[in-house]
Chain A
Amino acid sequence: MEKKKYEMKDEEFGSVLGFFDNVFKNPTKYPDRCVVLSLKNEDMTKIFTPKRLGLIELIKRKQPMTVAKLAKITERKVEGVIRDVNILKDFHIVQHEKKGKEIMLTMKQDFIVIPTARIMAFKEIKEAAAARKPEAVAI
């Protein structure tokens, strides 16, 4: 079965639009160039595993980098590194370019991940409010 590829969902896109609002308000606070992603917290930890974060760091520091070199440095199997690199490529964090027999990996720019704001249904808001204990009011 073919693995489902990443597609930015509407709620994630909404968070990206929110990011741009903030950029307009305070441009100096945000990077001048980067890839903008939005993910839910649970997806963030699934995608950015410690091993993948390690690969990102290596590619960033020693680009252009080959898969073989990455496998050697990290003492991992080439297949595992290819799998991780392909996921990072799907999110446009890493780029690859074929040079002869070698595939050169580069990271042209940094990336920013915005946590996806969870939209709550009115029913959920009411339930959350009902579950909260009334706060003490000082008279």
Chain B
Amino acid sequence: MDMNKKEYIVPLTPTDVIDVKLFIKKNEVVKFSLNYRAEIEGVWYQVYRVDSYHGYLHEQKFWISPEPIKLPYLEIYQLSYVFKLYMIEIKNNFKRYRELYEKVMR
């Protein structure tokens, strides 16, 4: 069965979006990325990212550093579950992430 590649944009507000990338094979998520972007003073910035690229789960908090933070304790779960978990995580925290990012920009 072929791999299905999906790319979606989930708008949270006019200036905050989640970019979703999914690779689905046999109804299973085999790879995903979630990228929270914010528009600040007319420019879009990548603020937070979580993905399973490069063979392991990791997040990037761009207000700290672009350095990936490994999430090994989540490797036992199905990726579709981790995907949902982080979708909710971003929805619940995007304003805080944005504030932290803006603080660093100043």
Residue numbers of A with Cβ under 8 A of B are 5-8, 10, 13, 16-17, 20, 23-28, 30, 32-37, 89-92, 109
Let me know if A24 and B13 touch, CB within 8 A.
no
With contact pairs A13-B91, A17-B87, A20-B87 given, residues A28 and B4 touching in the complex (Cβ less than 8 Å): yes
Q: Does B8 contact A (CB under 8 A)?
A: yes
Q: Which residues of B contact A91 (CB under 8 A)?
A: 11, 14
Is the pair B12, A7 in contact by a Cβ cutoff of 8 Å?
yes
Cβ–Cβ contact B14 & A30, under 8 A? no
Q: B100 at interface (Cβ–Cβ under 8 A)?
A: no
By a CB distance below 8 angstroms, the chain A residues around B28 are 24
Residues on B lying within 8 angstroms of A by beta carbon are 4-14, 17, 20, 22, 24, 27-29, 80, 83-84, 87-88, 91
How many A-B contacts at CB < 8 Å in the complex?
69
Q: A28-B4, A32-B7, A36-B8 are in contact. Are A23 and B22 (CB under 8 A)?
A: yes
| A92 to B8 CA separation, bound complex (whole angstroms) | 12
Out of B7, B13, B27, B84, which one reaches A17, CB within 8 Å? B84
Question: Cβ of B20: which chain A residues have Cβ within 8 Å of it?
Answer: 20, 36
Contacts of B5 in A (CB 8 A): 32
- Select B8's contact among A5, A26, A34, beta carbons within 8 Å: A34
Assess the A92–B9 pair: CB atoms within 8 A.
yes
Contact (Cβ within 8 A) A20 B24: no
